[in-house]
Structure 1
Amino acid sequence: MKTSVWMFAFCVTAFYSCQKVIDVELNPSSPKYVITGNITDQPGPYEVRITSSINFDQDNHFPTVSGAKVYIADQTTSFTDTLAEVSPGRYRTHAWTGAPGHTYKLVVMLRDEMFSSVSTMPAPVALDSLYTKSATFGDGTDIVAVYDDPVGPGNSYHLLLAIQDSLSQEIYLHNDKINNGSRVSHILNNDIDIKPGDTITVNLQCIDTAVYDFYYSLDQALKQNSAVISNPKTNIVGGAMGYFCAHTVRTRSFVFK
């Protein structure tokens, strides 16, 4: 009997037009919906994307999923937005801005199924400075992001690195289980060649614990030495894959010399 292996891709909207797209070969299962969405403390609109996983022997075109009813509710203020499908599989909010401390609930109704997710936006943390250093492993240049972790446990971070218009495919994560309340010098091992004159941009996202767990499990899965990796942990309820994230954004850039 033939065993099927399925794949999915997810996008992380980062620096306006840049996106990180990671293809993942999953443990054998039936195809599933893949839902990804972000809300930030920067002015919207925001997008939720819905695709479907595919068999590994198909081409790398992940089917978009149309016809869903998608809602985002601010449970702190009781405001609810109904998203519009602006193109197949892309659902967009109206123009509003997420707020730190607020809890947001995503609801996706698709045929006879319903999926939901809740994410609370943490308080922002300033990205104090950036600098470069010789690569920790091999040749090249690493980037160091410096920020102060607030006193109090439970702070989690996801960082995105762009060199010019190229977004690193590395997953950069940190939490404060070891160095709570300390100054953090986070080394971003760089997978992109840097030339003098290139603009280096780092995006510091403060994320909640459930979203950290998604990225951490995805990163661990990608590092497995096996043909098929474990399914990443999701914060979406109802049987879909992916994530829903309410996070703050602080960005800093400099020109490499």
Structure 2
Amino acid sequence: MGKMKMRLILLVAAAVTMAACKKVINVDLNNAAPQIVIEGEITNGKAPYFVRVSKSVSFSSSNVYPPVTNAEVYIKDSANGIIDHLAQVDSGVYRTQQLVGVMQHTFVLSVTIDGKQYRAVSKMPKPVPLDSVTFALNFDFNNNQEINAVVNFEDPIGLGNYYQFIETLNGRLIPNVFVFEDRLSDGRYIEQPLFNDSSYLKKNDTLEITMNCVDKNIYNYFFTLANVTGNNNFQTATPANPVTNISNGALGYFSAHTTQRAKLVVY
């Protein structure tokens, strides 16, 4: 990891999670009949990989999604023709049996439930190395001191690089959505703070940062998810479903991405 450093930053505008300007996409509110929810990932990490299938509940209901146990789930590696029939290992949880995630391969997910097929395609990008994680000392509008992680990395030359960051603080996943695109920063060295307005970091905390290089569709999914949840400080007026790459009216996402992690103590 690169040399750790502490910076003093005076915030002069509202801290936002999203790192790039982008038009908000308006989508229909899901507050009626249940819909299929599919969440699946293929990474360059060690197999197996998992796909979770459930049904949505209305916006006003408790956040408990009933699992779907009668799905037929397949993932195809378009580059080598391997088709993996996923085995159900828990209620609504399906696991690969032979597939290996390979960067720049395109993966096709097919889920069939009661004769209806849902499909998604995702191409795994090349990995971009995470150079280091540092910390920035900030002040909010009430002049309270806070610490935020800063991810540092070199964006490759050429537009079309998309990033997702995940924070795990003292073993607990932080729900904030952090995504970044290089539309305004192509080929530059990036020093991006991860502004966290729900769980402030404290000295001696243990923080794990996960950096995923994702494709454009997955970036759009998490960008719109942040607008739905309001964790980019600009929640949409009407709760809505994030943009998905899954066909036939399903919710959720299927992502083939590279991943890397850094674990360190906040100081």
TM range (shorter): 0.7 to 0.9
**How do residues 41-56 of structure 1 correspond to structure 2 at under 5 angstroms?**
41-56=44-59
SS at the partner of 2:228? helix
**3-state SS in 2 of match to 1:135:** strand
Whether 1:196 and 2:203 are equivalent positions in the alignment is yes
2:228 corresponding residue in structure 1: 221
Structure with higher strand content:
1
What amino acid does structure 1 have at the position aligned with 2:121? V
CA RMSD, 1 decimal? 1.7
Amino acid at match of 2:245: N
Q: Any idea what SS the aligned residue of 2:83 has?
A: strand
Note the C-alpha offset of 1:256: 1.8
TM-score normalised by length of structure 2: 0.82
Aligned partner letter, 1:213: N
The equivalent of 1:113 in structure 2 is 116
- Scaled by the length of structure 1, the TM-score of the pair is 0.85
Which blocks of at least 5 consecutive residues in structure 1 are unaligned?
1-24
Question: Between the two proteins, what is the percent identity of the paired residues?
Answer: 34
Q: What's the CA shift for 1:225?
A: 5.3
Distance 1:66 1:93 in 2: 16
* 1:97 Cα deviation after fit: 2.7
Matched, 1:248 2:251: no
TM-aligned CA deviation for residue 42 of structure 1 = 0.4
The correspondence of residues 79-228 of structure 1 with structure 2, limited to 5 A, is 79-94=82-97, 96-135=99-138, 137=140, 138-190=144-196, 191-223=198-230, 224=235, 226=237, 228=238
Is the Cα–Cα contact under 8 Å of residues 165 and 209 in structure 2 kept in the other structure? Answer: yes
Structure 1 Cα separation of the partners of residues 44 and 38 of structure 2: 21
Report SS of the residue matched to 2:218: helix
Q: Give the aligned partner of residue 4 of structure 1.
A: none
Q: Which amino acid aligns with 1:89?
A: G
Q: Which residue is equivalent to 1:62? A: 65
Does structure 2 retain, via aligned residues, the 8 Å contact 1:104–1:119? yes
> Is 1:71–2:44 an aligned residue pair?
no
Query: In structure 2, how many angstroms separate the alpha carbons of the residues matched to 1:43 and 1:34?
Result: 25
RCO comparison, higher one (Cα < 8 Å, 6+): 2
Work out whether residues 31 and 60 of structure 2, in 8 Å CA contact, stay in contact via their aligned partners in 1: no
Structure 1 pair 58–256 and aligned structure 2 pair: CA distance change class (3 A): closer
CA contact (8 A) 1:136 1:189 kept: no
Alpha-carbon distance in structure 2 between the residues aligned to 1:27 and 1:49: 19
Q: Deviations over 1:169-201 (max 9, x none)?
A: 111110010010101111111232434332211
> What is the aligned residue count?
232
Distance 1:100 1:148 in 2: 19
